[in-house]
Each structure stands twice: as structure tokens, then as C-alpha cells.
Structure 1
């Protein structure tokens, strides 16, 4: 299976929680008592369907083929006011950054962002009350009990937004995958043509001893991505969760560095203007092909409102300084 088919960031599933067990209408009987009072217990709760955050997962692949998730029904109450057993909950472990939405309305139900965090996706029905609840001065031996509540059935969409400290933003072939492969242990697919990266790649970058941060190589933006052109929306979704955005423009771009940076910024802003509030850093990549004179000429034409650095992943130039800039932005 290729890396692309392994990464699943969208699934639609039908969830049916368990129905509550019926209450019991039992009347107490034993050797000494032939006409005892009501002692029917309550029904058990139906099983919930629950999402639970697990940082070991990085994709929704394990849920792709589970189209119907069904929790157990609660059992009926019994004599001696014994409550029926609750239906078993169905716990679905999901990566951090998973958002649950109602498939019909598109309403966001909740999101899972912390390890071990649990949220109920569909609640099980409550168990019915046993007949002993209905005993009164006028009705000493009620021979009825409540039925259990029905479970809930709904179609739900789960979407994953990659959680990372640094998101790499650039057009295809800007050198994002190469940078990630050099500064982390990630092994993204790399080739000298556009659109090699079809799924986000995550890498852990070690920084000055015992520190580290997570970097995400997000598939290249194309002009018009914010309008849904190409796979634009799916990729831009992942950028929303990154703390710092590292814009990457190659030294051999056909446009000026500033022009390319402005186009990238425009695409992000059109998609979600809040992305402009995040710290931005600009890296001019593939700069091993520049001599000092060319660099100085380019510096005069760089955008002034963003920290900028010249790097070469292949020649490993400027990478320590880049990590320093990124760390300061993350920690800041």
C-alpha cells in the first residue's frame, strides 16, 4: 500500500448507540410472601459511541472500512430492584486534531485535541425505570414499568487536521520535503517534479539538546487552492492547526521572492483570514546556487515585514539559524 493510500483524513460513518433496557415489572415473591410489593429493577443504559484521543494514531485509516458502528443495548432490570447491565460502549481511538461533524447539517460537534480525551459521539438510551418507582399510597402494586429509551442513529463525518508546531507553506517543488528529510527523521517521497507530496508528512525536529518540535510538510499550494481548485481545501485544512507558518520560496522561482510570498499569503488569507495572525517566517530555498552578490541583490527586494533567511537543505546551509528562528517563534 502506498503512503498516499495510508493517509486518510476524512471518513463518514453511521453511528448507532445502544437502546436502554426496559425496567422490570416484577412483584416480590418468596416462600413467606405470595403477594409482595413491586421490586422490579431499572433497565441498563445503552452503550455510548465515544471518541478518544490517541497520539499514536496519525490517520483515520483504521475507520475507513468501518461504515457502521453499533453499540450494545442495555439489559432489562430484574427482581430485587436489580439494575440491568449497561450496554458495552464502543470507543473509537482517533488522532489528536480530529473534528466530529454532523454529516447532514455540517455542524461541528466537537474536536479531540488531547491525549486520552474522550467525548460522546452518540449517547446510549437511558434504561427504563422499574415498577418499584411507581409505588404510591394509592397504587401499592404497580404492574407496569418504563420501556428503555431508544438509541441514537446518525451519520457523522470525522475530519483530521494535522497538529504540528511548524507548517511548511509553498508551491509544489519549493523544497519542503527535502527540508523535512534533512532536519528530521521523516522520510517523505522526494522527486524533482511538482506534486510529489500528496499527503502531509510529519517529522520531529531535534533542537539544541533535549528540545524538539513537530514540523509538517503540507502538500504544495496551487493558485486558486482557496477556491477549492485541485485538492486545495483538503490541504489548507491542515495548516489551520500549525503554530508557526514557514513560507518557502525557491531561489530559482520565475517570479520575484516577494511576489511569490504575496500569492501564498493571499491563498491562505482567502481560505481563513485568522491564519494571518500566526507567526510567519520566510525561507529562500535552494540558495546554494546563489553567490554573495546575487544574495545581496535579492535581499534588497525581499518583503520587509517578515523574518527572512536563505537556506539550502542539500548543502545544509542556514539550517541551524532557521531552527533558532522557528524555536523563538514557537516559544514566543
Structure 2
């Protein structure tokens, strides 16, 4: 009997969407604490465009000898479980695979991952929508954790990139934390931003108590924070230098089963946005990257293996 294989999208030599290949790799059985998941959906995120384009290779963060896996988050169904696992075969789950330097990713027909990193998907949330939550939802939750509670003498928070995948979650989560939130976005995104309970602006002046820089404006965002305020960024490899007594914090997204379960439940309840722009088969991963690179899309391209 031959070795069982499955299909996955990888990049050997980065060079943009044309560098993406779909290859066959051997199936692996789950070990202790692991499960194998048949992937139902895997979103295309900006970080994936950076991997395919060679940005993270140029920073020395990727050293794979043969190929680099693509994709960070996913949703699917458990098909096999190793010893010590509390997830039954047939359970619908979503999760996050972190780190740049790996030969596997979520653009795949299946994954073997630690069960402790997965959250169960609510019955009333479809797997395509659920797949868009882990990376951006957990990033936004960490942004809000780093912001903390609003100060008693002021709680004005500006969110850059407020209509983007991370920014949209920050709007809702920070409002629930007690911040008085204003979203900075394009004029065409006003309805979406206000629909999440936030104020809206297309231009911002300095003086905010805190800025959540979901758009990765970096120093431009820092300039909008009042003296002694807080800036939370989303690029762990590029922390702006603090000035004027501003506290600068930067997220480093990680798997969090409990927090992800809460985010999925809130998405199922309609409290958080599930934004899917289009669903494409795995074979069209390169097309999804080309379209995503054009920008301006409010929602994710999602690959269905």
C-alpha cells in the first residue's frame, strides 16, 4: 500500500503569486495531544502576500530548505485524534498556525496541529466564515488587551485602518472594553464603521488618548497620540521608537483556544463581523493573491481545498 498524500500550496523561491505551487506531501498521523483536521477553508491574509513576495525571507525570518508553507488560519473537521485529546472525530474546529519558518500551512487539504490550539466552531457559524476569525480576531483581541482599560481621565481611542480585517474587530472589542472609539477609514466605509458602534472620521488630528494602529502607519500613528498616551502597533518586527512619554506596545499574535472560542461565539451571535469577499479553490491560490494584492477589498479571499 502506497503512502497517502494530500495537496498543499507552498512557495519554493519567493517571487509573487506566480511562485505559488500546489504539491503533494505525505499524510502524517497525529501524535500525543494532536489532531488531524480536514481543512474546509483557509483565508488569504496580507502576511501571506509578504511570504510569497519574499519580504519575510529578506528579514531572515524564513530558512526552509525546500519549500515554505502558506496560510495562518483555518476551519475544518477533526478526522483523527492522537492520545490525550478531548476533541472527538467529527468536531468542527478553527485554529491558528503561527510562525513564518515552517514547511506547512493552512493552504492545504489537511493539517496535523495541537488540539490545545483549536476552538470548537458553533453550530450556527459556517466554516468559511469561521476560518476568517482566528488570525485577525486574535490579533485584535491582543491589541485591546495591550490597550487595557481606558483611563479615568480620558478614553478617546482612534483605530487606523478601521474598516480592515483587524481594525473592524478592534472597533467592536474596544467599545465593549469601555473605550470611546473612532474609526479612521475611507468615506465609503462609514456605514460599516458606525455599524460597529464607533465614531467615524476620514482624517484625524493629534491628541488621542490612545491609537490602535491596525493600518500599520507606524510613526504617522505615533504622531496622533497625545503626550503620555498609548500606541499599540501590529508589526512586531518594527516597533516605533517611543517619544513624548507615549507608551508603545506591539502585538505578537499567538494561538489562544479560550479567547478564540469567545470570538467565534460572538461572531455567530452577530456581535463581530464575519467578512468573506470570495471563495476560491486551492488551485486558484495564485489568483486569490493577485486580487488581494490590489487592495481595497473589505473581506477575505478564502481558499477551499
TM-score tier by shorter-chain length is under 0.3
> Which protein has greater RCO, CA pairs closer than 8 Å, 6+ apart?
2
TM-score by length of 1: 0.24
User: Relative to total residues, which structure has the larger helix share, 1 or 2?
Assistant: 2
User: Relative to total residues, which structure has the larger strand share, 1 or 2?
Assistant: 2
Which one has the largest radius of gyration? 1
TM-score by length of 2: 0.26
